[in-house]
Chain A
Amino acid sequence: MEVPISTAELLTTDGIPLKQSLKKAERKNKLRAFLLVFPLLLFIIVTFVMPIGDMLLRSVDDAQINTVFPNTFEEYKKWDKEKDELPPEEVYKALFLELAYGDKIQVGRALTRMNYSKSGWKSLIKTTSRAIKKVVRKEEFPDSYKDFLIETNENWANPTFWYAMGQMVNATTPIYYFNAIDMTYDENQNVIRQEENRRVYVQTWLKTLKVSVYVTFFCLVLGFPVAHLLANLPLRYSNLLMIFVLLPFWTSLLVRTTAWIVMLQQQGVINGILVWLGILNDDGRLSMVYNETGTLIAMTQILLPFMILPLYSVMRVIPKSHMRAAQNLGAKPATAFWKVYLPQTIPGMSAGGLLVFVLAIGYFITPELVGGKDGKLIGSWIAYHLKTTLNWGLCAALGAILLGVMLVFYWLYNKIVGIDNIKLG
């Protein structure tokens, strides 16, 4: 029987209404729980989330060059391109002064950025700077800066350079994203495709996707029977066999990659065995490493545990009686498997598949070491621009696109499996 209670009338001993008092306690509890999480949350935000955010900002950031040529860009914006073919005298003057008195290192950095918009900027500015230095030393400033600059280098009368400058006058730019998908600006700032021989990213993106799909497929084909066996064996055997899955999982990635180089190289273990067995002759040794084959083989082995473990945890709870029941009702084993067992493993397959796919897309170490020239994936380009060309804007843009692709798949993963259902070991 329900007792009608009017909470409004209930008071605690110190005269506060019960509802209010409960709310207060609730708030206190929430605060306590939050305070426990707070140190780590703050730590992750500072050491991880902010760096990622910084990278995203950097992918559109064009402020550096604006600090080098602020007046030039200011005057440039006033230039009416319809009326005059070349920018007015003020633009030339501002550029002259900023090159003459600007910080040398800053100008040097700006040059690299300018060359991304149009090749030729670097030499143009360098020769001009030299001429300007001479003028400044002698203190013989010209009457017309425009004529002076055009005299030093005729490219200053070439409107295409001036049009290219238009890409840089804003503090943000989408150019790195365009570059990351093999697009660029033409003279009139229309977005066009890169020249044929400079198109590298689209095919790398496609290759990254292709390798990830293949690796996922191979992992599924190899992982499914193994997970099935592990799930159906008595526990004392399956625990023992599980070591075969967990040991690679716990072993250093570099060790596994090295091991694959030893196995697959021309004088390696597999070629050696094949020659010894007489399947191959000594000249016909297969090249299985430093190419795409090597990447596929090594990545499949490295990511296989991530497929087997989720499949196993799903298959373990599928009752064995279902298959028997299906066969009792007259289904052939193949039909029973196809119609009864397989549909029940779909959550495991999608969890494992997505996990492997997402990990494969972002892989860097293994493709870089065993991939050779044609097995490299997008991660290698990110590293290349980060460390070698120092084109950090493009590096950040490639990273941002990769991150976007990942997040889409993780969103899917979360919908299907749930992020907090990730289990280890």
Chain B
Amino acid sequence: MALPSYSTPVQRTYYYAYLFFCSIVFFFLVAPLFAIVPISFSVSPFMVFTDGMLSWPPDPDAWSLRWYQNMIGNCSSEVVSSTVPCSHKWMTGTVNSFFIGLTATFIATTLGTIAALGLSRPHMPYKGLIMAILISPMIVPLIITAAGMFFFYARINLVYTFTGVILAHVALATPFVVITVTATLVGFDMNMVKASQSLGARPVRTFFKVIMPLILPGIISGALFAFITSFDEVVIVMFMASLDQLTIPKQMWAGIRQEISPVILCMATCLVALSIFLLTTVELLRRRAERLRGIKSR
């Protein structure tokens, strides 16, 4: 939407001011994320840009991978600093995060996809009410969910267990699966199911051979949303997990609270990379789905 050639100088000024304002907002949105990347490669144990990092030509002594080595638990002497502890906690956290995240994603995607199939049927009774209940975990603030779950799971001895954390994360993640898969099913031609069944396929075979290949992009992006929800989740983990269920967010939280160290920024950099990867995947899937359904982008 370039400016028309007949615009007045005042209009031009407004237009460029508007573009300038927008670029500042874009900067505001992403700059903090990228500001932490160089600091994570610093030698200094403080989370600042040191003079050495800003000097020109670059000073190789100002940069190092020592905090990354610390993060992966490689505690050799050059890595250990008096202010920054070194332990295997980050790696334990990573393993736990992936374990909890992948298990929760699997359960959430299975339950959510089946439910979405039911919800998209024209005969579904009480659709509005059921949808509201299924989506409610996404809507209720996490701190309330955490309090409620802590009280309730304490009664049935599920706090401080992997089972408890995973169940809680499945509950939080299913709304995302339900929403994305239901959205994919909107353009789905139900006649194909009828065709498949009239040719003798049983419902399960119909699902795996006909429905699933077509809605797979929706399922995958739902699963990615579910994974990132569980992977990022810190409030529930804070109350319902003991040290045995230490996850990356829990360790980061503890790190920010107690010893602010550049190791946190190393993990943060890794997480930014992960989110770029997930974002790209979801974007590609969305476009593919739109192409498949014949929805043309403008």
Chain A contact residues: over half helix, strand or loop, or mixed? helix
B292 on the interface (CB 8 Å rule)?
A: no
For the complex, what is the distance from the CA of A364 to the CA of B154, rounded to whole Å? 22
B62 on the interface (CB 8 Å rule)?
A: no
When distances are taken between beta carbons in the complex, the residues of chain B under 8 Å from A226 are 22, 25-26
For the complex, what is the distance from the CA of A29 to the CA of B125, rounded to whole Å? 10
Chain B contact residues: over half helix, strand or loop, or mixed? helix
When distances are taken between beta carbons in the complex, the residues of chain A under 8 Å from B140 are 52, 362, 403, 406
| In the complex, per-residue mask of B163-179: 1 if CB is within 8 Å of any chain A CB, else 0 | 00001101100101011
| In the complex, per-residue mask of A19-56: 1 if CB is within 8 Å of any chain B CB, else 0 | 00000001001101111111111011101111111110
Contact between B111 and A43, CB atoms less than 8 A apart = yes
When distances are taken between beta carbons in the complex, the residues of chain A under 8 Å from B286 are 425
**9 A-B pairs in the complex with CB atoms less than 8 angstroms apart:** A30-B125, A33-B118, A34-B125, A229-B22, A250-B228, A256-B32, A396-B147, A396-B151, A423-B183
When distances are taken between beta carbons in the complex, the residues of chain A under 8 Å from B137 are 44, 48
Task: Report how many residues on chain B are interfacial, defined by Cβ distance under 8 Å.
Answer: 98
Contact between A425 and B282, CB atoms less than 8 A apart = yes
For the complex, what is the distance from the CA of A260 to the CA of B29, rounded to whole Å? 11
When distances are taken between beta carbons in the complex, the residues of chain B under 8 Å from A58 are 151
A246 on the interface (CB 8 Å rule)?
A: yes
Give me 11 other A-B pairs in contact (C-beta within 8 A), A40-B112, A48-B145, A320-B1 excluded.
A33-B121, A36-B115, A250-B282, A255-B271, A259-B33, A262-B47, A263-B31, A265-B47, A268-B48, A364-B141, A364-B235
Contact of A252 among B143, B153, B167, B249 (CB under 8 A): B249
* Chain B interfacial positions (CB closer than 8 Å to A): 1, 11, 18-19, 21-22, 25-26, 28-33, 35-36, 39, 46-49, 111-112, 114-115, 117-119, 121, 123-125, 128, 130-153, 155, 167-168, 170-171, 174, 176, 178-180, 182-183, 221, 225, 228, 231-232, 234-235, 238-239, 249, 252-253, 256-257, 260, 264-265, 268, 271-272, 275-276, 278-279, 282-283, 286, 297-298
Interface residue tally on A, bucketed by range: 35 or more
Most buried by A among B149, B168, B298: B149
For the complex, what is the distance from the CA of A412 to the CA of B133, rounded to whole Å? 17
Contact of B35 among A52, A263, A364, A383 (CB under 8 A): A263
Contact A54/B152 with A48-B171, A250-B228 known, Cβ cut-off 8 Å: yes
For the complex, what is the distance from the CA of A223 to the CA of B26, rounded to whole Å? 10
When distances are taken between beta carbons in the complex, the residues of chain B under 8 Å from A246 are 279, 283
Contact between A252 and B232, CB atoms less than 8 A apart = yes
Tell me how far the C-beta of A319 lies from the nearest C-beta in chain B, rounded to whole angstroms: 12
